[in-house]
Amino acid sequence: MGTVEVLRDGAVLVDGGRIKAVGSYAELRDAHAGAVVEEVRGVLFPGLVDCHTHAVFGSPRLDDHERRALGEDYKTIAARGGGILQSVREVRARSEGELLALTRARVQTLLAHGSTTIEVKSGYGLDPATELKQLRVIRAAAETARAALVPTFLGAHEVSPEFRDRRVDYVRLLCDEMIPTVARERLAVACDVFCEPGVFDVAESRAILAAAQRYGLAPKLHADELEGSGGAELAAALGALSADHLAAISDAGIHALAGSNTVAVLLPATMVFLGRRRQAPARRLVEAGAAVALATDFNPGSSPTVSLPLVMVLGVSQLGLSHAEVVSAVTVNAAAALGLAGDRGQIAPGFRADLMSCGVADWREVAYWMGENLVTAVWTGGSACPLPTAPVSLGLHVET
Ligand code: NIG
Ligand code: FE
């Protein structure tokens, strides 16, 4: 993870949407005289993989942001009508067309920041109709997007408000109705649960993800984000694709992930945006032998950023990772967190020709300049993507 190979004056030969050869420009030019040449200035990276987003939502949650800054805690904000359930009310009320237009704009902006594969979760519906609506929005957005979208069912993002006093029935609804329908309609490839004290406990999370596995959905877990409850251990035991957040992971959790193929997905922008001092123990995870990935967690409550390069900067300065490690974390390892490590995330023969270039002289600058979008061009499946020329609106503020 700490080693990246850097070629100078390199070239990438692309054929049929895949990388066919990588080598020196002079050699490849001689061997393939008829090939069309696209000159790239700066540094060419594998297209970035954002393996954790909640991009289907309505408005930003500006009041939450300010109340938190003024000292209100999560529970008080939720009690006053903010938090995840505010986004749930809005997503329920908005039409599929509106959500699709918003999602398309966000995906375009994620792509413009270098992300060529983007995982997108549902989880602001919490009832069968709205969860399916969100997943249909992801499918429709994927049909026109130049980035590849990977849909994850997150019906277990919070206990549905209608089931507050009978949470057992909501878990049953998830396992017996929602997961089977999502799988039958092929609306998601993975299933995620917010496993945290006060949300879903370990036993409930295990039951939901076991049901998901029976229906062919790969398990993922929001694990040990705030207080920690053994979510990482559960993810490893289930053979989950990833355990995400992990700011409160235990020593046993680190050990469990290190001994598994489950990727530790760290989300440093979330902890920064929430104003928390504690970050996930990235160095200890790496040194124990866990595979560490980084993602934006793009969502309106805890991480309103579309920039994986910004997250890479935070990976270095907040998590103590090296420049090479953060590059691996948003390419190879992020692809592994989606079960796609053999297909994308590397500039190597056989891989999908997803690439992005940055206008920098040294590759390490991508994880250095904080907040500037340095991406100059993006290619998916070997062809150049049109990028927005003016800033795209990421949300709209409405009364709910
Ligand atoms: O990953 N942790 C749970 N879910 C999101 C927050 C979503 C929200 O606040 O809307 C997260 O941080
Ligand atoms: Fe999340």
Please, what is the angle between helix 231-238 and helix 202-214, to 10°? Answer: 20
- pLDDT, mean of residues 265-273: 98
Provide the pLDDT for residue 263.
98
Ligand 1 atom with minimal separation from the 225 CA: 2
C-alpha of residue 359 to centroid of ligand 2, in Å: 30
Pocket test for ligand 1, best of 297, 298, 400 (most atoms within 8 A of CB): 297
Band of pLDDT at residue 15, cut at 50, 70 and 90? very high
C-alpha of residue 121 to centroid of ligand 2, in Å: 8
Ligand 1 atom with minimal separation from the 245 CA: 1
- pLDDT, mean of residues 339-346: 98
Residues with CB under 6 A from ligand 1: 54, 84, 87, 194, 222, 225, 270, 297, 299-303
46-336 to CATH, choices 3.90.1150.10, 3.30.70.270, 3.40.50.720, 3.20.20.140: 3.20.20.140
Q: Work out the burial of residue 11: count CB atoms within 10 Å of its CB; fewer than 13 is exposed, 13-18 middle, 19 or more buried.
A: buried
Provide the pLDDT for residue 398.
41
130: DSSP letter: H
Protein residue closest via CA to atom 3 of ligand 1:
194
As a whole number of angstroms, the distance between CA 12 and CA 24 comes to 9
User: Of all residues in the chain, what percent carry a pLDDT higher than 70?
Assistant: 99
Provide the pLDDT for residue 396.
65
pLDDT at residue 144 above 50?
Answer: yes
Pocket test for ligand 1, best of 73, 245, 298, 299 (most atoms within 8 A of CB): 299
pLDDT at residue 319 above 80?
Answer: yes
| 123 phi and psi angles, rounded to 5 deg | 115, 0
CA distances, 162 to each of 122, 125, 282 (Å): 18, 12, 38
pTM score, whole prediction: 0.97
Quick count: other Cβ atoms within 10 Å of Cβ 100? 20
Domain ranges of the chain: 46-336
Nearest to 158 by CA among 64, 86, 59: 86
pLDDT at residue 400 above 60?
Answer: no
C-alpha of residue 400 to centroid of ligand 2, in Å: 23
Those residues whose C-beta lies under 8 Å from the C-beta of residue 395, and which sit 6 or more positions away, are: 57, 58, 59, 60, 102, 300
Strand-pair partners of 355: 46, 379
| Long-range residue pairs from 326-330, CB within 8 A, at least 24 positions apart, any chain | 326/294, 326/367, 327/4, 327/45, 327/363, 327/366, 327/367, 328/1, 328/2, 328/4, 329/1, 329/266, 329/292, 329/293, 329/294, 330/48, 330/49, 330/50, 330/293, 330/294, 330/295
97-143 pLDDT per residue, tens: 999 999 999 999 999 999 999 999 999 999 999 999 999 999 999 99
State how beta strands 375-380 and 355-358 pair. Answer: antiparallel
Provide the pLDDT for residue 352.
98
Protein residue closest via CA to atom 5 of ligand 1:
302
What is the residue-averaged pLDDT of the chain? 96
pLDDT at residue 397 above 50?
Answer: no
Query: Which tokens in the block code for residue 89?
Result: 């009310």
pLDDT at residue 237 above 60?
Answer: yes
396: DSSP letter: -
24-78 pLDDT per residue, tens: 999 999 999 999 999 999 999 999 999 999 999 999 999 999 999 999 988 899 8
Protein residue closest via CA to atom 9 of ligand 1:
301
C-alpha of residue 302 to centroid of ligand 1, in Å: 6
As a whole number of angstroms, the distance between CA 355 and CA 378 comes to 6
175: DSSP letter: I
CA angle 23, 24, 28 (to 5 degrees): 75
C-alpha of residue 52 to centroid of ligand 2, in Å: 6
User: Of all residues in the chain, what percent carry a pLDDT higher than 90?
Assistant: 94
167-198 pLDDT per residue, tens: 999 999 999 999 999 999 999 999 999 999 99
